Amino acid sequence: MQFDIRRFDIYRKVPKDLTQPTNTGAAISLICISFISTLLLIELYDFITPDIVSELYVDIPESGVAERVPVNIDISIIEIGCQYLGIDIQDDLGRHDLAFHENTVKIPENGDRGCRINATFSIARVPGNFHVSTHAAQIQPPNGNMKHVIHELTFGDTVKGFKQIPNRRAFRPLRRFNNTDRPPHTSHDYSLKIVPTIYENRGGQRRYPFQFTFFYREFNPNHHGGVPAIWFRYDIMPITVKYTEHRQKLYTFITSICAVVGGSFTVASILDSIIFTASELFKKFELGKMT
């Protein structure tokens, strides 16, 4: 007796002459195909778009010495010339750099009455401050108005190119911060709380940007025995935020695709059967009434 493998076919085929196409079935089929196509595109988008997983932990350097934090500041002082201005850096480890000039570019603005300062430097992970002032100038300017515009202030690596990184504004909340409507002869004080952050993409590459919040206040420097300045007082938090990119597993994606296709076809088939059966019963009922 010859073995027939067709016995194991659980998808038995019905001859075409035993099937009956209907307008309702065609409409349901088209709707079902459109629905499945939409869900498949959504599932594909979710598959190729990485998920961002965040976690918090205390970062303790193994050597006991933490790496320094890069700082970039781009600021315009509207009413004081470049010859008077400088950036001073202080911290709790005893650092005191007066008129820091390395990696510092000064560009005259406002008809040489103002100055735009772009500087890059590094700070230790201890409380401290850096400030824009005229403390190092041999002759103080006649106008002590420190009104300014902060074009950019960032800590650590840049987040440009990392489109998936969450809460992007927290990495540069002072960007384009306009502070030109304050009273003259006023010192400006920004208190910064800096949060170390690690961003790791799917390839294992890491970036180390820093998020921060700020609180602004102003005070009269004459009450403190000084000249007007723009202070940035910072404190670096001991908690580190880590963002990690994760992509959906391939088998999860395939399972979702099978569920979408199989479930949609099953529901559409049941709906078509219900409508077809109801229409047949309605036709028989009408024929019964006619006779």
pLDDT band at 2 (very low <50, low <70, confident <90, very high): low
Structure pTM?
A: 0.73
Report how far residue 116's alpha carbon sits from residue 217's, in angstroms, rounded to the nearest whole number.
Answer: 22
Report the pLDDT value the prediction gives residue 4, as an integer from 0 to 100.
74
Report how far residue 25's alpha carbon sits from residue 284's, in angstroms, rounded to the nearest whole number.
Answer: 20
**140-163 pLDDT per residue, tens:** 888 888 999 999 999 998 877 666
Report how far residue 75's alpha carbon sits from residue 116's, in angstroms, rounded to the nearest whole number.
Answer: 6
Would the pLDDT of 224 be above 50?
no
When pLDDT is averaged across residues 108-130 and rounded to a whole number, the result is 93
Domain boundaries, the chain: 66-194+219-238
User: 191 versus 202: which is more confidently predicted?
Assistant: 191
Between vectors from CA 273 to CA 267 and to CA 278, what angle results, nearest 5°?
Answer: 130
**245-269 pLDDT per residue, tens:** 877 787 887 888 888 888 888 888 8
**52-66 pLDDT per residue, tens:** 888 888 877 655 566
Contacts (Cβ under 8 Å, ≥6 apart) of 9: none
pLDDT band at 178 (very low <50, low <70, confident <90, very high): very high
User: Which of 67-71, 74-78, 161-165 is least confident?
Assistant: 161-165
